[in-house]
Structure 1
Amino acid sequence: MSADIYKKVRANPKFAELEGKRSRFALLLTAIVMASYYGMMMIVAFAPEVMRTPISTGSTLTIGVPIGAAIIIGSWLLTGWFVNRSNGEFDTINNEIVREATK
């Protein structure tokens, strides 16, 4: 692309909108994932008895296993949400910006 097209893209108010929406969304999802991972690590470090509590009496499976699995599955779901929104809303705005810049 030429420098002229880059200038048109940067000057387009939709570009600032796209940049803001995408950044806020990515930061929100990052905060959710980081809080869940670090929250679990803090519990493991400072209250390990919580994570080693059996799910039921006589069970060898502890509460930490489903919590860890939920964090992993939740992270996958959040990634899917980001990809879905990126391929929908964000790509639509991006295509409009490119169309306007190449006029």
Structure 2
Amino acid sequence: MNQPLQTPHEILESPDFKRLVKKRWSVSLVLTCTMLIVYFGFLLLVAFNKQVLATRIGEYTTLAIPIGLGIILFAWVLTGIYVFWANNHYDTAVENLKNKIS
């Protein structure tokens, strides 16, 4: 078993802490980029092809309404993915690091 970490500097320089920070950044970056791609895709569609969004799918509704709602729901799904990851992986790793501190 590893020797307990003593100082904040040892914790910050430990490979486990660096791996945890790198993983958190990776997950956050992937989810953020995914959301930005979807959002800016919608903005580009609004800017360059409004006719698609103006397509009627009912008597009173255009295609823009379900696409906009879909983007909102997509953001919720991404949030749920992050919360699931944090609860099942990140929090466990943080607890393991805490246990290494004497």
State the TM-score, normalized to the length of structure 1.
Answer: 0.87
Asked if 1:95 corresponds to 2:92, the answer is no
1:1-103, aligned counterparts within 5 Å? Answer: 5-56=7-58, 59-100=59-100, 102-103=101-102
Unaligned ranges ≥5, structure 2: 1-5
Alignment partner of 2:57: what SS? coil
Q: Which amino acid aligns with 2:77?
A: L
| SS of equivalent to 2:7 | helix
CA RMSD of aligned residues (A): 1.2
Displacement of 1:8 in angstroms is 2.1
Q: What is the SS of the residue equivalent to 1:62? A: coil
User: CA offset at residue 13 of structure 1?
Assistant: 1.0
**Offset of 1:88 from its aligned partner?**
1.6
For 1:83 and 1:9, the matched residues in 2 are separated by: 25
Aligned-pair CA distance for 1:16: 1.2
Q: Distance in 1 between matches of 2:10 and 2:84?
A: 27
- Determine helix, strand or coil for the equivalent of 1:98: helix
In the TM superposition, structure 1's runs of 4+ consecutive aligned residues that sit over 2 Å from their partners are: none
**Following the alignment from structure 2 to structure 1, what is the Cα–Cα distance between the partners of residues 81 and 23?**
14
List alignment gaps of at least 5 residues for structure 1: none
Aligned length: 97
Cα distance in 1 for residues equivalent to 2:30 and 2:80 = 14
